[in-house]
Amino acid sequence: MRNSAIEVRPINGYIGAEIGNIDLAEPMSEQTLIDVRQALAEHGVIFFRDQNLTAEQHDAFARRFGTPTDINFVKTVDGYANMSVVSKEEDELKNIGGGWHADQTYYEKPPFGAVLVARELPSFGGDTLFSSMAAAYDALSDGLKETLDGLKAVHSNEKLLRSATRLNTAGATPQYATHPVVIRHPVTGRKSLFVNRAYTLRFDGWSEEDSEPLLKHLFIHGQRPEFQVRFKWSPGTVGFWDNIQVWHYAANDYQGQRRVMHRVAVQGEALIPA
């Protein structure tokens, strides 16, 4: 019977799993909800194929894990103010999310996670890559771990506001937040790096110039292929990633074609220092 006991099929040894024997359109028991949350915490990003959710069902599923975040800078689905449309049209050259990042880390409480539904896909390309910052932390040298464990970093949407060409940022002002560089996951207790190229400006108490070499090293380190999974979407597939331990990157390799995804992000809590 579907939704009685989920099947968790890891994609590789570092990140990602496909979840079977579940219909997200149907009510979930508390135990199934616990199992899905555990799978997300352990694998960083999970995928549910052949779901074909309505917008209402998408919204309801995301709300089982918390309150949706507010939407900034992008259009939303009619009737769903907290569901963003992540799209690229045939005549557009740039996509949204085409660089390694974690979502909205310039918030004091960054989103816990995000639920993405594939609505319209190109005939080729349009994959999303995910990278485990828990695996990235584990692979650091002991000396570097010791250096990073006590540091904090300043995050801001400054660069987003300066460079965004696909987003409606008129009248927006920069936001800032300071977070531990290494955090502990609230479910697994595992340590993760919490910096990203899109929003991390500098280490707290350091200048941007002094911060740049070490941050650049961490950004490159976090992109190592063995920490990644590259997921090929199919219509109706649902992806759910843990935003506090995973980076993601939307590949922009389908020029001249349309791609439409719907996304609901879930509010997070204060991060736990390592």
Return the active site residues.
Answer: 101, 103, 248, 263
Cβ(174)–Cβ(183) below 8 Å: no
Tell me 226's DSSP state: G
Q: How far is CA 61 from CA 67, 196, 225, 227, in A?
A: 11, 28, 31, 28
**Which residues, 6+ apart, have CB-to-CB distance to 232 below 8 Å?**
127
Structure tokens at 197: 């190229």
Strand, coil or helix: what is 239?
Answer: strand
Cβ(157)–Cβ(174) below 8 Å: yes
Question: How many degrees, rounded to 5, is the angle at CA 74 between CA 130 and CA 134?
Answer: 20
Long-range contacts of 35-40 (CB under 8 A, 24+ apart): 35/5, 35/6, 35/8, 36/6, 36/240, 37/65, 37/187, 38/187, 39/6, 39/8, 40/113, 40/240, 40/241, 40/242
Q: How far is CA 225 from CA 13, 140, 273, in A?
A: 12, 15, 27
Cβ(45)–Cβ(136) below 8 Å: no
Exposure of 134 in the CB half-sphere (CA atoms within 13 A): 23
Paired with 247 in beta bridges are 131
